[in-house]
Structures are given as C-alpha cells and as structure tokens.
C-alpha cells in the first residue's frame, strides 16, 4: 500500500523540477521534464485512489498538536488531479519562454499543491505567501508592472487579517491545526462573538484570494497581464483553491450564524454580477472573467449547503477544467466582433464541446455538477433559482458567441498565417482541454453515485481522528478521545 509520506512529494517534486529548469534546456527537454513530473504524480494519485483515505503526513515526526500536518482525502485527491491535468498543457506552452519563467511557474504549482494538502493554518499562510510572491514574479518576468501595485496591496491586506487571526487562535487554543481547532471550537466559541470574528477574518483573506465580489478588483487588471501561456491555469486553479480552503475551515468550525448570511450575500452578488457581465460586450476575455466570477459565487453558496463536500467534488474539478478550456479558447480567438478564423470541423467540434460543457447541457460534465448542487437546494428555492438563472444566461452567452464568430456572410474559413511553434502549441492545448471535458463528462456519469457517498464521508471528521489515533505513540496524543467530537 502507498505510504503517507509520499504526500510530501506533491510539494517537493515541483520544486525539484523548478531547480532543473535553471539549466539551459531545450524546449523539447523542458517538455520532457514536465511530462515526467505529470507521469510520476499521476501514479501517486492513482495509487491513492485505491488506498484507504484519508492519509495523513506529520512533517518532522513531531507530536500531533505541535507538528505540521498534511492531509489527503477524496476531495483533495480530486483537486490535485484536476490541477495536474491543467498544469501539463500550460507547462508545455511555457516551455519556449525563459528559464526564469518556467522556474517561477513551478513554484506556483508547488504552492497550489501545498495549499490543497495543508491541514495547518500556519503552513497554509506560508503557501499563500509563496503563491503571492511567485505570481508577482510572473508579472515582473513578463514586464507587466503597471498594474502590479493593486495586486500586491490587496494581498498584503489579506495577509495582515490572516496573521492576526492565526495568532489569536494559537494564543487561545494552543494549536493551528484545523482538526484540533474543530475539536475545541464548540466550547471555545460558545456565547462569544470574538472567535466568530476571527474566523470571519480568515474567511476574508480566503475570499480576497478567491476574487469574490467586491474583493475582485485586483483580478481583471492582474491576470490579464500574466503571460498568455499561464493565463488559463492561473484563472482556473488558485481561485478554486481559495474556495477549497474556506471549505476546510468551515467544515472544522462551521459557518455559524455570522458566516452563513455573509456567504449567501457575497455568493449571490458574485453570481448576479458575473452573470450580467457575461452578457456585456467588453470583449471575450472580460466575459470569461465574469464567467469565472459567477461560478465562484456558486461555490461560495455551496459552502452554505448541508453537505457542501458532495457538490464540491464535481463542481471544483469541473470548473477548473472548463475555465482552463475557455481561457485557452479565448487566447486563441481574435477578440473582435465578427470574422474569427475558422479551422475546420475539428475546431468547431472542440469549441462546441467547450461551450456545451460550460453551460451544463446534458450529458456533459457541467450538467452533473449542477445536478449535485440543485439536489441539495430543494429546500432553498432561491438558491436553486439563482443557479438555474446562471445556466440560462450562460446559454445566451454561448449562442451570442457562436453567432458572433461562426455564422454570417462575412465569416470566412481561412487558415492562420502564424505557423510558428507557439500557434501549434495553442491549438494542441485547445484540443487537449476539450478532450478533458469530454472525458470528465463520461467519468461523471459513471461516478455520480460515488460522489454522493464520498461527499458524506468527507464531512465526517471522525475519519481524521481515527487516523491520528492509528499513528505511533510518539506521534499521537493519548488524551484524544473520539467521544469529544461534536
């Protein structure tokens, strides 16, 4: 059986590959190196999917309450897999750029993996800072400094709130481990407003990182200036990881009477603003940013459902894949009103798969993701209505997109005049991204019942406590009792 120490390889191997990228490798050499990373990590993901989850890694072998803990369950496994799938084409597209940019991008990947696996609030803070710094270096490497100030200052504000919150928690609870905090939370937060404000401060930092409205003012300016090769990955992954972190936090301490209405308000507002922006005529990339915002709003609303893990299993993976595919498409298309380049039946088929997945038509993957959400919103008809309205608006956007770029007397089929390696690589990315969505649709049909079962298991904190008690005596806490679990 696979050993839990292998969890750490998801952070260390990307850093090792980053070091190798300092060498003067050819484009083919960089692609081979990145492909080996994908193949190696894919083997571990497959092995973990067949093992007994959750898996825990206590870094350094310290006692549980003092050590840094990494945790892997079904949801983090799915998120790791989706992140790895969209990393591969981005790394190939980036392989012709400078060694420094390839190194920085692998630090971004390592930070995302670290955030997914961390079960310790301080370790999460370290990974967030690595992600922020590496993302800022991508701007600098791309010589896009004019709008960097807003991005940096917004992230500094988020870090200040986050640090204040974890210092308070450590001072009062003696731990920053999410599992331990969940054990002690009900007694600690009873009849007290301040602990709930502390959790709200943590959520504020995560909401800022997730670019939820109205804290998304940094994202349109920032991500539009990133290198084109990494725009799909950066729009697809980091914001979803922030939503995932909020789920980890709220699954430990609950949303409570304070966070529940805040999540509903911000989620609904983001969904509505994103849906309205989706119908605007500001340009394709701008529309896609609004599409991403609307889906982030949906995921924030999912956190208010009775069993959010059940819906997040599909929705996080689907959204990473579809946002990546849409931005790959957006970068390839000419952002004009009419007269896009057509590339034959294969291109039209690829675009059709992406659009039908994005709007959630059955039997595509977006449909099953929405079904799992709506299944839990029957008792909350307003949420169900909002999500169905987003589906309707997405259909209007897809129809307008198709009518603008693929029909009309002035739209002629013609070949691109750019035949360099970058253009070929973008074409491959588009085909690959649409193939992932088609494969996700097939897998979704087979695994729909599993998602419901896995979602129920992820919501059970007892599984993590049982794993802790199975650790050797030097790494476990004898006084930890399962009866203490609320």
Radius of gyration, CA atoms only, the chain: 22
Return the DSSP state at 417: S
**Band of the pLDDT at 2, cuts 50, 70, 90?**
very low
pLDDT at 205 over 70: yes
Query: Model confidence over 243-292: pLDDT tens digits?
Result: 999 888 888 776 666 778 888 888 888 888 888 888 776 777 778 888 88
pLDDT at residue 256, as a whole number: 62
Cα–Cα distance measured from residue 215 to residue 209, given in angstroms and rounded to the nearest whole number: 9
In this model, does residue 112 exceed pLDDT 50? yes
Task: Please compute the mean of the pLDDT values over residues 431-445 and round it to a whole number.
Answer: 84
Q: Which one, of 314, 308, 244, lies nearest residue 456 by Cα?
A: 308
pLDDT-above-90 percentage for the chain: 11
pLDDT at residue 7 tops 60? yes
Domain that holds residue 274: 4-484
Given a contact cutoff of 8 angstroms between Cβ atoms, the answer to whether 290 and 273 are in contact is yes
Q: Whole-prediction pTM value?
A: 0.84
Is the pLDDT higher at 224 or at 355?
A: 355
Q: Is 396 helix (H, G, I), strand (E, B) or coil?
A: helix
On whether the CB atoms of residues 143 and 213 are closer than 8 A, the answer is no
Q: What pLDDT does 241 receive?
A: 92
The tally of domains found in the chain comes to 1
- How far apart CA 213 and CA 156 sit, in angstroms, is 18
Helix (H), strand (E), coil (C) string for 326-343? HHHHHHHCCCCCCCCCEC
Instruction: Give the pLDDT band (50/70/90) at residue 60.
Output: low
Residue 40: its pLDDT value, please?
Answer: 92
- The single residue listed with the structure tokens 């039908």 is 356
Contact between 448 and 36 (Cβ < 8 Å)? no
Give per-residue burial for 1-29: e unless 16+ CB within 10 Å, then b: ebebebbeebbebbbebbebbeeebeeee
What does each C-alpha distance from 473 to 57, 58, 308, 468 come to in angstroms?
15, 13, 34, 10
Give yes or no for residue 221 having a pLDDT over 70: no
pLDDT in tens, 397-415: 888 777 766 665 444 444 4
Q: What does pLDDT average to over the chain?
A: 77
Contact present, 56 and 71 (Cβ < 8 Å): yes
Q: What is the pLDDT of residues 174-185, one digit of tens each?
A: 778 887 787 777
Q: How many CB atoms lie within 10 A of CB 76?
A: 26
- In total, the chain counts a number of residues equal to 486
| Dist. CA 226–CA 6, nearest whole Å | 32
Bridge partners for 118 per DSSP: 70
Residue 55 parent element (H or E): strand 55-59
Give the integer Cα–Cα distance in Å for 194 and 170: 14
Among 133-137, 195-199, 217-221, the minimum mean pLDDT is found in: 217-221
Residue 101 φ/ψ, nearest 5 degrees: -70, -35
CA distance 304 to 373: 11
- Of 481, 471, 478, 479, which Cα lies nearest the Cα of 61? 471
Task: Encode 158-222 in three state secondary structure.
Answer: HHHHHHHHHHHHHHHHCCCEHHHHHHHHHHHCCCCCHHHHHHHHHHHHHHHHHCCCCCCCHHHHH
Q: What is the residue whose two structure tokens read 């890694």?
A: 57
The residue ranking higher by pLDDT, 374 or 322, is 322
């Amino acid at each position: 059986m696979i050993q839990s120490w292998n969890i750490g390889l998801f952070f260390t191997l990307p850093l090792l590959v980053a070091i190798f990228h300092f060498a003067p490798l050819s484009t083919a050499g960089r692609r081979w190196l990145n492909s080996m990373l994908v193949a190696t990590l894919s083997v571990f993901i497959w092995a973990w999917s067949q093992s007994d989850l959750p898996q825990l890694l206590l870094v350094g072998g310290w006692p549980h309450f003092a050590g840094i803990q990494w945790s892997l369950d079904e949801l983090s496994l799915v998120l790791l897999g989706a992140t790895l799938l969209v990393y591969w084409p981005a790394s190939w597209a980036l392989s012709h750029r400078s060694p420094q940019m390839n190194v920085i991008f692998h630090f971004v990947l390592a930070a995302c993996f670290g955030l997914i696996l961390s079960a310790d609030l301080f370790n999460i803070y370290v990974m967030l800072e690595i992600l922020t710094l590496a993302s800022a270096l991508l701007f600098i490497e791309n010589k896009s400094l004019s709008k960097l100030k807003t991005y940096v200052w917004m992230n500094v504000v988020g870090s200040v709130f986050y640090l204040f919150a974890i210092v308070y928690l450590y001072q009062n609870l003696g731990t920053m481990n999410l599992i331990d905090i969940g054990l002690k939370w009900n007694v600690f937060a009873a009849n007290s407003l301040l602990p709930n404000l502390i959790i709200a401060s943590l959520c504020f930092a995560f909401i800022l990182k997730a670019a939820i409205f109205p804290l998304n003012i940094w994202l349109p300016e920032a991500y539009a200036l990133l290198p084109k090769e990494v725009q799909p990955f950066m729009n697809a992954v980091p914001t979803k990881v922030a939503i995932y972190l909020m789920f980890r936090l709220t699954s430990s301490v609950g949303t409570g009477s304070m966070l529940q209405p805040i999540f509903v308000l911000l989620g609904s507002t983001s969904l509505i603003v994103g849906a309205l922006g989706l119908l605007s005529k500001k340009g394709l990339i701008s529309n896609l940013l609004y599409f991403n915002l609307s889906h982030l709003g949906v995921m924030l609303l999912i956190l208010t459902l009775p069993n959010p893990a059940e819906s997040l299993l599909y929705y996080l993976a689907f959204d990473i894949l579809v946002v990546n595919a849409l931005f790959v498409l957006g970068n390839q298309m000419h952002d004009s009103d009419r007269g896009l380049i057509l590339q034959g039946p294969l291109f039209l088929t690829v675009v059709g798969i992406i659009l039908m997945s994005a709007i959630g038509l059955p039997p595509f993957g977006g449909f099953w993701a929405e079904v799992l959400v709506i299944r839990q919103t029957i008792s909350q008809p307003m949420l169900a209505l909002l999500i169905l309205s987003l589906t309707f608006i997405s259909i209007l956007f897809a129809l307008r997109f198709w009518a603008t770029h693929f029909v009309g007397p002035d739209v002629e089929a013609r070949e691109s005049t750019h035949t360099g390696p970058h253009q070929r690589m973008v074409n491959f990315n588009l085909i690959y991204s649409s193939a992932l969505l088609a494969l996700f649709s097939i897998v979704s049909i087979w695994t729909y019942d599993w998602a419901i079962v896995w979602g129920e298991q992820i919501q059970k904190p007892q599984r993590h406590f049982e794993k802790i008690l199975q650790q050797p005596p030097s790494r476990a806490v004898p006084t930890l009792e399962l009866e203490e679990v609320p």
